[in-house]
Structure formats: structure tokens, C-alpha cells
């Protein structure tokens, strides 16, 4: 999406800052990539962490994924949007990711409390987007709505876009939890008695908080390898995201509360 924005505004720079909601539990490599990218393109990078949540000791391991996501992601995002008074925020969500996302608009209206009301969505006809806001309301904008995971990798391959190395297979230290591989990204992941990280050739299809994001065993080390793998894959992309499966309609509920 950043690549598209840079193309769209060329030769000018994108006229907006970029915002990262840092839960404190993101992969180390992802943070390094974030900072390097911001430096390389001269981006105005804003990083926000929910300090209150951090002070309360909210974390994905002992607080549980629901509470952690609510406080450190959703709550943190709302804080940042309010603080900077953004009237619109772009997100990379796609309709093929999840069922309630399939129904979301490209210009998704959020209330003053950042909530999403799936029953009061503005119809989007042709390419005509109604961007008008009443006081306090804001927009979440999803330019990649109609892309599929395959489209994204096609595009990355064609355009040669640098991505976080975690998307490519490499031997990494992992433990098996709930039938998925969790990477031991730093010393904060408590190991159970007798549990020992093993080195496995893995990669990620999606990147969230590392203790909540499952890896897949894979040998795909380049975008072209990934394309081959995807065409043969029998599993959807968000299979590794533990937060979606908490309960049925989990994503819709999170979005009603203000999640991206």
C-alpha cells in the first residue's frame, strides 16, 4: 500500500504521515524493517503505544488474546486517531481475508467512537465514493479491498517491492502451540516445562503480535516461490491468526468496537 501511495502521488511525496500501533509484541525483524523503510523514503513515521495498557501489564501471554487485542491494538488505535485528529486512515485489509471484511466498504464510515455499523453502510456505486463526514466521524479507507492474497504477491513480485523477511522461509526457533508454530522471537515467550524451541524451516503469511501469529512450514524463499506455494495451498491466509477464531463473528465484533 505504501508503494501504491508513493506511485499515486509521484512526483510529489504522499501528503500524509504513516502510523504504526506498536503493541510491544511485534516481531523484532518487523520493527527493524519499519524503521529502515521510514528512513529510506523519508517518511513521517508516527508510532503509538497504549501506555496505560502497558502500565497495566496487558500482554498477549497472560492477559489472553482478546483483552490484549482490545487494549493494545483497538484501544491504542483509537487513542492515536483521536490524538492526531485524523479524519481518515488507510488500511491494507482485503475482502478475501475474512467474512465480515468481505462486506465492508472501501470508504468505511466510523462513528465519533470509531465504531463500525455494518447495517448503516453507504452504498458504493461505480467508482463514486462519498467521503463526507459529520462532526467527529472518520473514515477507514481500504484501497486494497478487492485484491486477493495472490494479487498482492503477484504485485510484489512484478514490482520488486521489499517486504519483511519473515514472509520468506528460513530456519527459525519455534514451539508448537494449539497446532500452530509459534516463533520464539525473544526471551519473553515463556516455555512450558520440557518445551524446547526447535529450528524449523518456516515462514509467515500474515504478521501480528508474535505470540499470537502462527507460522507455516514452507520452503518458499522468494516471491515467486510464494506464488507457487499459494497456488497449491489448501489453507486460507488467516489460519495462523489466533485472534480471529476466539469466537464466531470475532472479527465483526472487533470492527464494531473500532478495530481496523
Partner 1 sequence: MAADGGTLVARRGKDLLRFLTCGSVDDGKSTLIGRLLYDCSLILDDQLVTLREESRRLGTTGDDIDFSLLLDGLEDERQQKITIDVAYRFFATRERAFAVADTPGHEQYTRNMATGASTCELAIILVDARKGVLPQTKRHAFITALLGIRHLVLAVNKMDLVGFDEHCFEEIATQFAAFAVGLGDLSVRVIPLSARSGDNVTTGSAHMPWYHGPTLLEHLHSIEVTAFGDELPFRFPVQWVNRPNSDFRGFSGTVVSGSVAPGDMVLVGSSGHSARVKEIVSFDGALARAAEGDAVTLTLDSEIDIARGDLLADPRDRPECVDQFAAHIIWLSEQPLVPSRSYLLKIGTRTVPATITALKYRIDVETLAQLADKTLGLNEIGFCNLATATPIAFDPYKANRHTGAFILIDRLTNETAGAGMIAFGLRRAGNIRWQALSVGREQRAVLKGQTPAVLWLTGLSGAGKSTIADLVEKQLLAMGLHTMLLDGDNLRHGLNRDLGFTDADRVENIRRAGEVAKLMTEAGLIVVSSFISPFRAERRMVRELTAPAPFFEIFVDTPLEECIRRDPKGLYAKATAGRIENFTGFDSPYEPPEAPEFRVVTTTAAPEAAAEHIVEGLRRRQII
Q: Are 225 and 231 in contact (CB under 8 A)?
A: no
Closest CA relative to residue 143, chosen from 105, 115, 111: 105
Residue selected from 29, 155, 180, 257 as contacting partner 1 according to rule CB under 8 A: 155
Give the shortest CB-138-to-partner 1 separation in angstroms.
13
| Distance from the Cα of residue 150 to its chain's centroid | 17
Contact region with partner 1 (CB under 8 A), list: 24-32, 89-97, 196-204, 216-224: 89-97
Q: 159-168: b or e for each residue (b if 16 or more CB lie within 10 Å)? A: eeeebbebbb
| Alpha carbons 22 and 167: distance in angstroms, whole number | 19
The residue behind cell 528460513 is 170
Report in angstroms the alpha-carbon separations of 18 from 5, 127, 167, 192. 11, 25, 21, 38
- Is 150 a binding residue for partner 1 by CB under 8 A? The answer is yes
Contact region with partner 1 (CB under 8 A), list: 75-83, 95-103, 165-173, 210-218: 95-103
Q: 181 - beta bridge partners?
A: 176, 215
- Is 36 a binding residue for partner 1 by CB under 8 A? The answer is no
Give the shortest CB-8-to-partner 1 separation in angstroms.
4
Give the shortest CB-239-to-partner 1 separation in angstroms.
5
Residue selected from 53, 96, 110, 212 as contacting partner 1 according to rule CB under 8 A: 96
Residues lying near partner 1 in the complex (CB under 8 A) are found at: 4-13, 94-96, 98-103, 106, 118-119, 121-128, 130, 132-134, 143-148, 150-151, 154-155, 233-236, 239, 248-249, 252-253
Amino acid at each position: 500500500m505504501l508503494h501504491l501511495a508513493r506511485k499515486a502521488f509521484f512526483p510529489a511525496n504522499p501528503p500524509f504521515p504513516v502510523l504504526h500501533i506498536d503493541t510491544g509484541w511485534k516481531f523484532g525483524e518487523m520493527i527493524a524493517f519499519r524503521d529502515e523503510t521510514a528512513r529510506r523514503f523519508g517518511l513521517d513515521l508516527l508510532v503509538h503505544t497504549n501506555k496505560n495498557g502497558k502500565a497495566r501489564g496487558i500482554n498477549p501471554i497472560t492477559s489472553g488474546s482478546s483483552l490484549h487485542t482490545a487494549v493494545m491494538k483497538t484501544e491504542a488505535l483509537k487513542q492515536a486517531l483521536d490524538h492526531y485528529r485524523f479524519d481518515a486512515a488507510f488500511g491494507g485489509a482485503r475482502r478475501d481475508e475474512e467474512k465480515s471484511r468481505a462486506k465492508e466498504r472501501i470508504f468505511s464510515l466510523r462513528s465519533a467512537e470509531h465504531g463500525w455499523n455494518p447495517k448503516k453502510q453507504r452504498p458504493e456505486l461505480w467508482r463514486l465514493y462519498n467521503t463526507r463526514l459529520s462532526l467527529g466521524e472518520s473514515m477507514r479507507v481500504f484501497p486494497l479491498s478487492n485484491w486477493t492474497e495472490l494479487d498482492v504477491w503477484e504485485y510484489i513480485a512484478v514490482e520488486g517491492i521489499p517486504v519483511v523477511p519473515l514472509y520468506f522461509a528460513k530456519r527459525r526457533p519455534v514451539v508448537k502451540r494449539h497446532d500452530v508454530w509459534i516463533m520464539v522471537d525473544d526471551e519473553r515467550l515463556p516455555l512450558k516445562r520440557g518445551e524446547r524451541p526447535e529450528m524449523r524451516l518456516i515462514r509467515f503469511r500474515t504478521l501480528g503480535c508474535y505470540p499470537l501469529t502462527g507460522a507455516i512450514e514452507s520452503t518458499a524463499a522468494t516471491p515467486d516461490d510464494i506464488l507457487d506455494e499459494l497456488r497449491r495451498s489448501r489453507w486460507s491466509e488467516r489460519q495462523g491468526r489466533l485472534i480471529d477464531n476466539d469466537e464466531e463473528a470475532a472479527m465483526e465484533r472487533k470492527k464494531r468496537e473500532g478495530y481496523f
